[in-house]
Amino acid sequence: MPMIAAADGCPLWVEFEGPPQAPVLVLSNSLGTDLHMWDAQAALFAQSFRVVRYDRRGHGKSGVPHGPYTMEQLARDALAIADALGLGRFHWCGLSMGGMEGMWLAAHAAARLDRLILSNTCCFYPDKPVWDRRIAAVRSVGDLSLLADWILRLWFSPRFLTGAGAAAVTPFRSMLSATQIEGYIGCCEAIRDMDHRDILPHIHAPTLVIAGRYDQATPVAAAKLIHSRIRDAGLEIFDSGHFTNVEQPEAYARLVLDFLRCPT
């Protein structure tokens, strides 16, 4: 069942691996990437969990309906996938935009979530014109590959981007370049209009917040705000840029697994 229909009919590409009877872990990726952003962790996670990955609408192999999209709509897409796969409850690990969806799910569909990992993410952007300018730039060039150098600098720390991690960056340039303009813009509009600040205190799932010390897209201050508003949440800060799971793949995987296996 690789393709699942959202409530409005948008086709969503889904992949899953791991023991069928194991606890379920849903992985949700960032703006401008597809499910392969988790390639460094998926096989390891699948040793202990039924791992579900999917391409968000507007990305990868999923449909690209006209926007704007909303964060609620994107989170409900995830619920449609869970329902189609017969998943009652599941763990959620979302990075960047995936974390934004995770906050909505944990507050509005609490009965479905077990543990929540909010990685390199943000609950609110006060400076809306920043997103308007990004949308205008994308529309103007009409090809995300022409903005790849700028966006990659938001995703990765300078040391990783130009050093030993350069080879690991190549697939992300390809993912970004393959993302269709309408899908990218629709998701930008969802991020711009999101405000999760008031729902954070309503999240009661065990929560781990992860941040990158050199993250320009969702700075440590954004992680600390989320951490401060979710009761008993944990906070871990890595020496990384925005994609902590790529810059610190082994340490990131260990942290996530330790958190998911921790007794309640």
Sign of CA dihedral 86, 187, 59, 239: negative
Q: Note the residue count of the chain.
A: 264
Which ranges of the chain have pLDDT less than 70? Answer: 1, 264
What CA–CA distance (Å, rounded) separates 137 from 145?
A: 12
Rounded to two decimals, what is the model's pTM? 0.97
Give the pLDDT of residue 7: 94
188-to-11, 30, 69, 108, 253 alpha-carbon distances in Å: 20, 11, 8, 22, 28
**Which residues, in sequence order, are bridge partners of residue 28?**
94
At residue 2, the pLDDT reads 85
Let me know the angle formed at the C-alpha of 41 by 147 and 6, rounded to the nearest 5 degrees.
70
CATH of domain 3-261: 3.40.50.1820
Domain ranges within the chain, ordered by starting residue: 3-261
Omega before 11 cis (within 30°)?
no
Q: Whole-number mean pLDDT of the chain? A: 96
Predicted pLDDT of residue 166: 85
